[in-house]
Amino acid sequence: MSEIVTKKIEEEISRYEHKNPFNYSKVELAKRKKAIIDAEKDYPNIPALWIEWMYDLIGQKSEEEIEHIINSGEWEKEINKDRQLGGTIKCCDVLDNSINLIK
């Protein structure tokens, strides 16, 4: 007869660990989480994942870099990129929400 082996599930299946591609410390992760929660309250119409992406994009830059980007208008330049499958991607301005484009 075969033996019955009893193991805890934790021994068989490891617990999920959150990914940390930017190598944030525990304190930085806590600050990130708080900032994202606050931003979700301030901007309820923006998807939470976008807020996380922006935090990670800006969080990796120093204050001097951010000031340079804002003052130089580096991110305000119009971008035109041709796609491999045809068509063009264009960076556009945000339209006024009161304008109804669908008729």
Residue 39 counted as domain residue: yes
pLDDT by 10s per residue, the chain, length 103: 667 778 887 778 887 888 888 899 999 999 999 999 999 999 999 999 999 998 988 877 888 988 888 888 877 776 666 666 766 666 554 444 454 444 4
CA distance 75 to 58: 12
Distance CA 103, CA 100 (A): 7
The number of helix segments (H) and strand segments (E) in the chain equals 4, 2
Residue 53 belongs to domain spanning: 18-90
Number of domains observed in the structure of the chain: 1
- Does residue 28 fall inside a structural domain? yes
